[in-house]
Chain A
Amino acid sequence: MACIEARGLRKHYGATVALDGVDLKVEEGRILGLIGPNGAGKTTALKAMLGLTAYDGQLRVLGRDPWIERHRLMHEVCFIADVAVLPRWMRVWQALDYVAGVHPRFDRAKAEGFLARTTIKHGSRIRELSKGMVTQLHLALVMAIDAKLLVLDEPTLGLDILFRKQFYDSLLNDYFDHSRTILVTTHQVEEIEHVLTDLMFIDRGRIVLGCSMEDFESRYTEVTVLPQQLAAARAFRPIYEREVLGRTILLFDGVDRGQLATLGDARTPGIADLFVAVMNLQPGRTQGAAP
């Protein structure tokens, strides 16, 4: 059974189409990055998967319909919607007591262990904590739940770089064990690049690219060439070009890296660069400098 399976997932808010027929399948044990521009439908897709919004089409998360069975699904699914959702009036010990009270898979000792590494005090109210500390607390709560799927929607938004780094480090070291699945959206693509096993680009409610990181590395190549090599490089039909300091960086899809290496410095592109290229290929988009 796939962890998440969607077919023809649609959602519109009035005349605005948020999801325009999304098909996707996420297998167990993957760390999937869902990446897209603002308003692309990332958050709507996640909300649908978490039973927070109604949708048309087929969707199964761990074999359940999230809209009908949200509360049952939440035995095995955790999510951090964004940094500001922990109730501000709550005290840290109350959050621990409450989650321990209602969640059968919550390991309180584990959560206390995570908290012991921070400077968060049990008696503090959440409104008294800094943004970074609230995220640490939320992460401690979530990581102490033995869930099959963890969904993170912009989990590090508004955090400073130290917290952001720490966030993904603890997620990988203390939580991920190859039987869990993690789905994450973020604008800070660089941060999660080395964490992901799978990549998915979404634009205007549609999935425009989906591949594993292995595929990504073997399929895409970026080459920096000097002006005299440019014509030869273009013969391989790059999908995107950009100029940096008098050199041209070309991005190729499915071209043998050995051949490209003769033209200049060839390497795997960053996800952000591929993202720009793929968005640029979408009909009706004019951003970026298209060749």
Chain B
Amino acid sequence: MNTESNAMPEPSGVATMVPAAIPTSRLLYWSVRRELWENRSIYLAPLAVAAVLLFGHLIATIGRAMAIADLAERQALLEEPSNFAALVIMGVAFLVAVFYCLDALYGERRDRSILFWKSLPVSDAMTVAAKLIIPVVVIPLLTFAITVVAQFLMLLLSSLALLGSGLDASILWQRAAFFEASVGLFYHLVAIHGFWYAPIFGWLLLASAWAQRMPFLWAVLPPVVIAAVEKIVFGSTHFGRLLLNHMSGGPEGAKFPLDANAVHALEHLSPGSFLLSPGLWIGFALAAAFLYAAVRLRREREPI
């Protein structure tokens, strides 16, 4: 239509300039950032639990210890090592990750906001990738940071209690092996929560993309049905056992040390054999298949 000059309001040099495409890393950054805006429980839930545990430590351990008059007994109680806090924070973070995944591709269809997200130049693959990064990268790293800070504060409080009682705090730090315990925790979070559980999160995202209602049932029922059919038809329980085995925390050498003997536990870590275990790679293949299906479904599914 308007071939004549004054058609465009901008100066001609600017008008003809084509804006550069946005790099993938920046698209991913904003996609992850918007997930954190929407799902604040990702960081609020573990933070709240850490705060409660810290308070509990103050009351239950330090309060109780200071009430004991006998200094040797008091020292024994304060030096009792514990991985309890790490376990609880991890458990909560895992639950948050599960419920996050179940809602990730379902909620946006239910509230029709998918029509807004799809009006922007972000591909379905990018969106699903960002939603996978939350449970396999963001939540483990957050869990690590929160746990380490909480455990450090607990040790600090115990040390203050010991020093205040005129006792030596060095044995406490030796036993707790703060650095080794943190390395072990980091390894566990990356290996198990990030890598080993990837097919679980992939499956949950797929259920979330598939379900027209009740994504939780869609996530849980198929494996239960498969296990039941196997039991009825073949009389065996391979599938169920495989599943439970996978969920219970992976191959030996990457499990979280429950006995709290961090120094000892570090010696048992074997990243090499973990990375070579077929279970891990079969899991990755399954995760890739689930995620591919989730990307396709996100393109096809319409608002509910």
Chain A interface (Cβ within 8 Å of chain B)?
A: 28-29, 47, 50-54, 67, 70-72, 74-75, 78-82, 84-91, 94, 97-99, 101-105, 146, 177-179
What 0/1 readout, one digit per residue, does chain B (91-124) give for beta carbons within 8 Å of chain A?
0000000000000000010011111101111111
Bound CA–CA A50/B118 (angstroms): 9
Given A74-B122, A88-B111, A178-B2, 14 more pairs with CB closer than 8 A: A28-B1, A29-B1, A29-B2, A52-B118, A70-B124, A71-B121, A74-B119, A74-B120, A75-B121, A79-B119, A91-B37, A98-B33, A102-B31, A103-B120
Residues of A within 8 A of B299 (CB): 67, 70
Nearest opposing residue in chain B for A94, CB measure: B37
> Is A85 touching B115 in the complex (CB atoms < 8 A)?
yes
> Is A54 touching B115 in the complex (CB atoms < 8 A)?
no
> Is A90 touching B7 in the complex (CB atoms < 8 A)?
no
**Cβ of B292 to closest chain A Cβ, rounded Å:** 16
Bound CA–CA A71/B113 (angstroms): 16
**Cβ of A72 to closest chain B Cβ, rounded Å:** 7
Interface stretch (choices B15-23, B231-239, B258-266, B279-287): B15-23
Which residue from B8, B22, B115, B124 sits with its C-beta under 8 Å from A103? B22
What 0/1 readout, one digit per residue, does chain B (262-304) give for beta carbons within 8 Å of chain A?
0000000000000000000000000000000000000110100
Residues of B within 8 A of A98 (CB): 30, 33-34
What 0/1 readout, one digit per residue, does chain B (35-76) give for beta carbons within 8 Å of chain A?
001100000000000000000000000000000000000000
Given contacts A70-B299, A72-B121, contact A94 B34 (CB under 8 A): yes
**Closest A-B pairs by Cβ, 5 of them:** A101-B30, A71-B123, A104-B19, A87-B113, A81-B115
Chain B interface (Cβ within 8 Å of chain A)?
A: 1-2, 7-9, 19-22, 26-27, 29-31, 33-34, 37-38, 108, 111-116, 118-124, 126, 299-300, 302
Which residue from A79, A89, A97, A178 sits with its C-beta under 8 Å from B7? A178
Residues of A within 8 A of B1 (CB): 28-29, 178-179
Bound CA–CA A99/B120 (angstroms): 8
Which residue from A50, A54, A74, A179 sits with its C-beta under 8 Å from B121? A74
Which of B21, B116, B300 counts the most chain A CB atoms within 10 A? B116
A-B contact pairs, 15 of them (CB 8 A): A52-B118, A70-B124, A71-B121, A71-B126, A85-B114, A85-B115, A87-B38, A88-B113, A94-B34, A102-B22, A102-B122, A104-B21, A104-B121, A177-B8, A178-B1
Residues of B within 8 A of A86 (CB): 113, 116
> Is A53 touching B121 in the complex (CB atoms < 8 A)?
no
**Cβ of A142 to closest chain B Cβ, rounded Å:** 8
> Is B122 touching A177 in the complex (CB atoms < 8 A)?
no
Nearest opposing residue in chain A for B40, CB measure: A89
Bound CA–CA A87/B110 (angstroms): 11
Nearest opposing residue in chain B for A29, CB measure: B1
> Is A177 touching B121 in the complex (CB atoms < 8 A)?
no
**Cβ of A277 to closest chain B Cβ, rounded Å:** 30
> Is B116 touching A87 in the complex (CB atoms < 8 A)?
yes
Nearest opposing residue in chain A for B22, CB measure: A104
Bound CA–CA A87/B20 (angstroms): 27
> Is A87 touching B8 in the complex (CB atoms < 8 A)?
no
Which residue from A50, A53, A81, A87 sits with its C-beta under 8 Å from B111? A87
> Is A52 touching B115 in the complex (CB atoms < 8 A)?
yes
Which residue from A74, A84, A104, A178 sits with its C-beta under 8 Å from B112? A84
Bound CA–CA A283/B33 (angstroms): 54
> Is B302 touching A102 in the complex (CB atoms < 8 A)?
no
Which of B33, B38, B122, B302 counts the most chain A CB atoms within 10 A? B122
Residues of B within 8 A of A146 (CB): 19
Bound CA–CA A187/B218 (angstroms): 39
Residues of A within 8 A of B119 (CB): 50, 74, 78-81
Residues of B within 8 A of A51 (CB): 118
**Cβ of B218 to closest chain A Cβ, rounded Å:** 22
Bound CA–CA A84/B113 (angstroms): 8
> Is A103 touching B38 in the complex (CB atoms < 8 A)?
no
> Is A71 touching B122 in the complex (CB atoms < 8 A)?
yes
Nearest opposing residue in chain B for A74, CB measure: B121
Given contacts A54-B300, A103-B22, contact A90 B8 (CB under 8 A): no
Bound CA–CA A75/B116 (angstroms): 14
Which residue from B26, B37, B123, B126 sits with its C-beta under 8 Å from A90? B37
Residues of A within 8 A of B30 (CB): 97-98, 101-102
> Is A102 touching B121 in the complex (CB atoms < 8 A)?
yes
Bound CA–CA A90/B35 (angstroms): 11
Bound CA–CA A128/B124 (angstroms): 29
**Cβ of B4 to closest chain A Cβ, rounded Å:** 10
Given contacts A101-B29, A178-B1, A178-B7, contact A53 B120 (CB under 8 A): no
Bound CA–CA A103/B31 (angstroms): 12
Bound CA–CA A89/B108 (angstroms): 11
Given contacts A54-B300, A89-B38, contact A179 B123 (CB under 8 A): no
Residues of A within 8 A of B2 (CB): 29, 178-179
